[in-house]
Amino acid sequence: MASVRYCKIGADVWQSVRYCKIGADVWQALLVRYYLSAVETMFDDSYFMQRALQEAQLAFEKDEIPVGAVVVQHNKIIGRGHNLTETLHDVTAHAEMIALTAAFNHMGAKYLPDATLYVTLEPCHMCAGALYWSKIGRIVVGAADEKHGYRRFYGSQSPFHPKTQLTTGVLADEGARLMKLFFQRKRSPL
């Protein structure tokens, strides 16, 4: 007879299993542990930033500034977006705003404390404000934006909710490369 006990510690779930005798239950527990570790490895920051880069590529193909974002909760994408400012004639149609709105609608809530936003470019001042009010749990940023990023306005001070964790530089080169290609294409004559 096996008893399973779950103990939530931070973002990780630790599983301890006690067995009275060795048998099929042991093999099942080993397989579950192997599967869980494989899933955690597969769904890392690079995986979800790749999904955000796919969104940025969609923006690029629409002749929009190539920024993409996805909102993830429990390893599931609950919101995605890419810049649509030209398409919608709306200066607020940034990737982060669209992804947040989709996530709010999906969850039926206005706060996302258990979610993570993956965005290919450092958020602007407006998007940083929206992220503050969303109380999002974590933000993962790709490339820095020296001209229009939130750090230009806030410096080393964080504009996000005090509980929000920030990770920067994930696949930054890929996001920066797409931005450079976009602006090179814009500036070069046909």
Taking alpha carbons only, the member of 13, 12, 11, 134 closest to residue 69 is: 134
- Alpha-carbon span 119 to 99, nearest angstrom: 10
Catalytic residue list contains 122? no
The phi, psi pair for 114, rounded to 5°, reads -105, 10
Q: What is the 3-state secondary structure (H, E, C) of 105-136?
A: HHHCCCCCCCCEEEEEECCEHHHHHHHHHHCC
Please answer whether residues 137 and 115 qualify as being in contact, where contact means their C-beta atoms are separated by less than 8 angstroms. Answer: yes
Pick the catalytic residue: 55, 64, 96, 174? 96
Q: How far apart are CA 99 and CA 115, in angstroms?
A: 12
The CA dihedral of 38, 41, 46, 48, to the nearest 10 degrees, is 60
CA atoms of 43 and 64, how far apart (whole Å): 28
Tokens (6 digits) for 187: 């500036």
Which residues are part of the catalytic machinery? 96
